[in-house]
Structure 1
Amino acid sequence: MASAASNLSTLFGNQVFEDVMVFVDDEHSLGICRAAAGSIGFSADAVQDGGITEALNRIEPGHSPKKVVVDISRSLDPEGDITRLVRKMGPTNHLIVIGTSNDVMVFRRMMSLGAHDYLVKPLTTELFSDAVENVDRQAAAVQTAQSGKLTVVIGVRGGTGASTIATNLAWIMANEEKLPAALLDLDLHFGTSTLSLDVESGGGFREALENPHRLDKLFLDSAITKAGDRLAVLGTEEPIEEFVDVNPDSIDALIGEISQDYSQIIVDLPRHLLPTQGALLASADTVVLVSDQTLAGIRDINRITQAMTSLSTKGRIVKVISRVGSERATQVAKADFQKALEEPAEYFVPEDAKTLTVCANAGKSIPTVNAKGPITRVLRQLAADLSGYEEPRKKGLFGLLKKSGKSEG
């Protein structure tokens, strides 16, 4: 936050800071916020007394800090005051509200009015610091597309091979496309990404998900397992009897931190987490829905496609049909399957039990075991589609002939 202490402007003799300003209504909160200011990179002078009333007096349209923290404890019309402040701040700045009510309905009302977060008194330095820093983390997650791609892979039903596809897409991007890639396996109890790549689970993944305020580059590096020079893996095998309390902000925080070092991020998202991951789906460049070619697959891929609208998905949706083969007894004919989908599937991954068995037993990627097989060919096409990778043109006469042959085909 190099510009955190700089002044945006001076209005009526009062300084308005560019990055953060805080307006609270009691001495305890004033002390907490000023104590935390230095550790998260802004001036203690940016913390002011007076609550939201002072914020409304100080901030004018076009002269708003990027982040404003306001106390509504003494406001006679908190909803009206928040509405007026949000209008002054504009759509690109972020508001954090402090109040005394611990009612979830109050939290939801603050969000609907345009607040980014709602904090309940009494404040602690940890609570305050985490809220302010999380604004930057979430902004980084939303902007991942500027430096790379965020892909979320979802199996629309069990046994479709979605985790296998996610793992091998990340491996291809890192090892064949030579792009720095990260694989996040969010099946915290039964995930297979580390097993499939024959690497140990990182020790800090669960803690990062439960305590995003602890997340920084050093902590993330300790949680990551490397599967080669360019592939980072975040996965875990938590005890089945233990519930993992994933903080709603933790996925955004993770992606914001990871995107600084990895241009391709693949998230293996179990379908039962869909209702809780609206922010992740909203920031994804692509959501890959993996189904098998069955009647149940038709039902589930259509249902989840419809749900993407209410889950705020803005990116492209790619439908992948896996485990396709004549030996699959319950398989629907391809023409009938495509006709039954609201939008046709784009990729069909063939069944290859022999290759997959070797991969599972050896902890190796599909291209490593079967470099020229049909299953590998489809996965490479899909990986290039998702990452935007273009194979370098070969120089010389052979390359020209190959290019000419492609264009004629």
Structure 2
Amino acid sequence: MAEKPQPEIVTFPTTDNKTLGAAAYVADRKTEALLRDLLPKWGYGNAQIGRGGIRDAIRDYAKQAMPDVLIVDISGVSLPLSDLQELANICPPRVHVVVLGDRDNVGLYRDLIDIGVTDYLVKPVPSDLLYRAVARASGRLAARSAEPRTGKTVAVYGVRGGAGATTAVFNTGWLLANTFNRHVMLADLNLANGSLALEMGLEPASGLAELLTTPERIDNVVVDRATLEAEEKLKVLASEVELGRDESYDEAAVARLMTHLRSRYHFILQDIDRSRPAVAMSILKKADVRILVMDATLAAVRDCARLLRFLGEADESREVIIVLNRARSRGAGEVPMDRMTRFIGRPIDIVIPFEKKKLAVASLNGAPVVREKAAITDAYIRLAGMLVGQKEGAKRYRSGWFSFLRGR
């Protein structure tokens, strides 16, 4: 009897003339040899392939960028779903995960697909099945999951001028990147007078203004050129256009930019420009999470109540977080907390304590105030924790991947 021919394996074309990125952590020599033979033929010439398991992947990529495709082995792992969720916490939305294992279990397969794994293959892995799994992970074939993983957009809005929205964006974003190991983009949408880059000690460029005024040009190359790198997992988009120069943009341009960024970052924090109320309200409506930063003045309480009514009518399914920032020492004109919550109709979620000296020193140094151990740091950790689904600070997050996979 003639031997059955093996399925033809074609070579993947490269994307944007670049070699595709991949890494594999496998537990046995046979699978390692198979991957070393096949991945270069499929366009992954620089693939990192080695012996190990999912815990090794978590260790190696906790502090460094991940490739586009990650292959992990869960053979012998007692709690694979738990470990995969820990991996997901540090895995940007653009990364696709192929899982190998030694259990031919339909229930396990369905659980893994449900949480967004591209494919689950039982060893020994036939080359044609491996090819199709990697093809799905690289976008050459349609993924099994109907909903792609996307990051969250977080609109941060200062209810009154000087309430501290920019400081909240900087410090919350820094904690998400450094304490919670998420990939974070900060976007200062005030093109003329924004101070986010200044507060972070960065030199703003013209890139964000170009993206918002010519949104048809938005692609990976243009966005990367416009992006300022604060840290490995913390990026910034900020511009400082000349005074008197018209650099107006509309909500459609912001929406297009956010759609692009959601596939690359866990969180995109938007520092909203209050001087353009129509655009600002549209951004607030569409954001996955809305953070309203207020002080304790009567005017701020009134405006917060108005915003809550507006946002409640817009979409009650999107989360609203109210932050009371004590940006100045308490004075006679401060509204008491009980009257404040009664007037706006709900409790304050986070109270940022007054730390004048620490904030001043951090601002002069272009550093986040949350690097220091202080009451203000604890408050911002609670705020960042709420964004990743925790109610009590920087504990290990266990349900994050599910929300990202469902486009939250």
Normalised to the residue count of structure 2, the TM-score between the two structures is 0.57
Alignment of 1:8-407 (within 5 A): 146-277=149-280, 280-309=283-312, 311=314, 314-323=317-326, 327-368=330-371, 371-388=372-389, 391=394
Measured after TM superposition, the shift of residue 327 of structure 1 is: 3.4
Q: Which amino acid aligns with 2:359?
A: L
- Specify whether residues 336 and 150 from structure 1 end up closer, same or farther in structure 2 by C-alpha distance, changes over 3 A only: same
Give SS of 1:343's match: coil
Q: Which amino acid aligns with 1:153?
A: V
Match of 1:25 in 2: none
Contact 2:285 2:311 in 1 (8 A): no
Contact 1:144 1:150 in 2 (8 A): no
Match of 1:38 in 2: none
Match of 1:106 in 2: none
Of 176-185 and 146-155, the range deviating more from structure 2: 146-155
Structure whose CA Rg is larger: 1
Match of 1:403 in 2: none
**C-alpha distance in 2 between matches for 1:315 and 1:296:** 25
Match of 1:49 in 2: none
Measured after TM superposition, the shift of residue 316 of structure 1 is: 1.1
- Specify whether residues 333 and 282 from structure 1 end up closer, same or farther in structure 2 by C-alpha distance, changes over 3 A only: closer
Contact 1:194 1:201 in 2 (8 A): yes
Contact 2:159 2:293 in 1 (8 A): yes
- Specify whether residues 302 and 247 from structure 1 end up closer, same or farther in structure 2 by C-alpha distance, changes over 3 A only: closer
Match of 1:399 in 2: none
**C-alpha distance in 1 between matches for 2:223 and 2:240:** 17
Unaligned ranges ≥5, structure 1: 1-142, 394-409
Measured after TM superposition, the shift of residue 345 of structure 1 is: 1.3
**C-alpha distance in 1 between matches for 2:165 and 2:203:** 21
Measured after TM superposition, the shift of residue 392 of structure 1 is: 5.2
Q: Which amino acid aligns with 1:301?
A: C
Contact 1:278 1:313 in 2 (8 A): no
- Specify whether residues 357 and 333 from structure 1 end up closer, same or farther in structure 2 by C-alpha distance, changes over 3 A only: same
Measured after TM superposition, the shift of residue 306 of structure 1 is: 1.6
Contact 1:283 1:313 in 2 (8 A): no
Contact 1:355 1:366 in 2 (8 A): yes
Q: Which amino acid aligns with 1:294?
A: T
Q: Which amino acid aligns with 1:378?
A: A
- Specify whether residues 272 and 326 from structure 1 end up closer, same or farther in structure 2 by C-alpha distance, changes over 3 A only: closer
Measured after TM superposition, the shift of residue 172 of structure 1 is: 0.8
Aligned length: 250
**C-alpha distance in 1 between matches for 2:370 and 2:289:** 23
- Specify whether residues 247 and 260 from structure 1 end up closer, same or farther in structure 2 by C-alpha distance, changes over 3 A only: same
Give SS of 1:220's match: helix
Give SS of 1:226's match: strand
Measured after TM superposition, the shift of residue 210 of structure 1 is: 0.4
**C-alpha distance in 2 between matches for 1:344 and 1:292:** 14
Contact 1:275 1:311 in 2 (8 A): no
Contact 1:281 1:314 in 2 (8 A): no
Give SS of 1:147's match: coil
Unaligned ranges ≥5, structure 2: 1-145, 397-408
Match of 1:131 in 2: none
**C-alpha distance in 1 between matches for 2:197 and 2:188:** 9
Q: Quick one: higher RCO (CA 8 Å, sep 6+), 1 or 2?
A: 2
Work out the percentage of aligned pairs sharing the same amino acid: 29
**C-alpha distance in 2 between matches for 1:204 and 1:198:** 17
Of 303-312 and 188-197, the range deviating more from structure 2: 303-312
Measured after TM superposition, the shift of residue 329 of structure 1 is: 3.6
Render the CA deviation track for 1:27-75: whole Å, top value 9, x for unaligned. xxxxxxxxxxxxxxxxxxxxxxxxxxxxxxxxxxxxxxxxxxxxxxxxx
Measured after TM superposition, the shift of residue 224 of structure 1 is: 0.5
**C-alpha distance in 2 between matches for 1:344 and 1:223:** 39
Contact 1:225 1:234 in 2 (8 A): yes
**C-alpha distance in 1 between matches for 2:355 and 2:252:** 39
**C-alpha distance in 2 between matches for 1:153 and 1:242:** 25
Normalised to the residue count of structure 1, the TM-score between the two structures is 0.57
